[in-house]
Structure 1
Amino acid sequence: MQEKELNDLLNKGKEAVEKGYIPSAQVFFSQVAEHKNSPEVRSYLAYCLAKSQGRTQVAAKTCIESIRREPDNPTHYLLLGRIHLLADDKVKAVQVLRQGANINKDQRIINEISKLGMRRAPVIKSLKRNHPLNRVLGKIFARLGLR
């Protein structure tokens, strides 16, 4: 297969992932992986595996390995963050997405972070977020414009 055909399949797979057509995306990425097994293709295949079969641990390990190989590619961070969200681990997802945003201001990562509805840290970090003192101080500081 020629490089142009591989890029077309890769773009079709990316578009299918963004639209939520995971089985189609998996087919496209599998075809690309037969000829070009790049870290990006492996990350997308891992995300498809997590989304379709729920195998989030295997998928996360694959994305982490891709990050080790290409630490400057924000796509790996985006997909790993989404995998953590599939595994109901919002804390890890936020950490990974913030790392990706620090490396590259990719709009997809910024959109994912904004969808999560990030909250500020509690006023008194040693107390739980829902502690009455943190809640009252948070409201007061917000009204005063200090937060």
Structure 2
Amino acid sequence: MPGNELQELVARGMKAANSGRTAAALECFERVVKLQSTPVNWSYLAFCVARERQQFEHATRLCEEAVRREPRSSVLYLNLGKVYLLSGRKDDAIRTFRQGLLYERNTLIESELRRLGLRKPPVLNFLAREHPVNKYLGIMLKKLKIR
């Protein structure tokens, strides 16, 4: 398969996976990983396998291996977090999403975190979230765009 066709298949698979059509994405990535074995391709395949076939342990291992091979790609953390969510491991998913954002901005991760309704940890974690110092420090840091 020529390079352009392969890139087109990868793009089509990513678009399908990100829009919720994981059955179509699964077909694409099963073909893609045979031709081009990259952490991103394996990560998308793993997410699709978890969603379509409910093979959570297998998908988790694939995603974790992809992250080990390319630890600075936020897309890999996105897919690993989604696999964690599908398998009922919400705390792991949140931690993984946040870790992915440390490497690069990813609007899909941000939307997942918003969908989950998460708040950032308190500025001073030894004080309660509702403590006035935490509240006003958080507001001030957000206005300064530091946090």
Name the TM-score class by shorter chain.
0.7 to 0.9
Cα distance between partner residues in 2 of 1:73 and 1:32:
19
**1:44 aligns to what?**
44
Cα distance between partner residues in 1 of 2:18 and 2:3:
23
**2:141 aligns to what?**
none
Larger radius of gyration: 1
What secondary structure, in the 3-state scheme, does the structure 2 residue paired with 1:20 have?
coil
What's the CA shift for 1:45? Answer: 0.7
Q: Counterpart of 1:44 in structure 2: which amino acid? A: Y
**1:131 aligns to what?**
none
**2:142 aligns to what?**
none
- Unaligned 5+ segments in structure 2 are 139-147
Counterparts of 1:22-41 in structure 2, within 5 Å, are 22-41=22-41
Counterparts of 1:70-109 in structure 2, within 5 Å, are 70-109=70-109
What's the CA shift for 1:39? Answer: 1.2
- Unaligned 5+ segments in structure 1 are 127-133
Render the CA deviation track for 1:119-140: whole Å, top value 9, x for unaligned.
Answer: 35589x79xxxxxxx6xx82x6
What's the CA shift for 1:31? Answer: 1.5
Counterparts of 1:1-147 in structure 2, within 5 Å, are 1-119=1-119, 121=121, 138=130, 141=132, 145=136
Identity percentage of aligned residues? 32
Cα distance between partner residues in 1 of 2:95 and 2:48:
21
- Taking only aligned residues, the RMSD between alpha carbons, in angstroms, comes to 2.4
Q: 1:34 to 1:114 in 2, by over 3 A?
A: same
Q: TM-score, normalised by structure 1?
A: 0.82
Q: 1:4 to 1:116 in 2, by over 3 A?
A: same
What's the CA shift for 1:141? Answer: 3.3
What's the CA shift for 1:5? Answer: 0.5
Of the structure 1 ranges 26-35 and 93-102, higher mean CA displacement relative to structure 2 is found in 26-35
Render the CA deviation track for 1:57-82: whole Å, top value 9, x for unaligned.
Answer: 21111111001111111111000001
Q: TM-score, normalised by structure 2?
A: 0.82
| Pairs aligned (count) | 137
Moved runs in structure 1, 4+ residues, more than 3 A? 119-123, 144-147
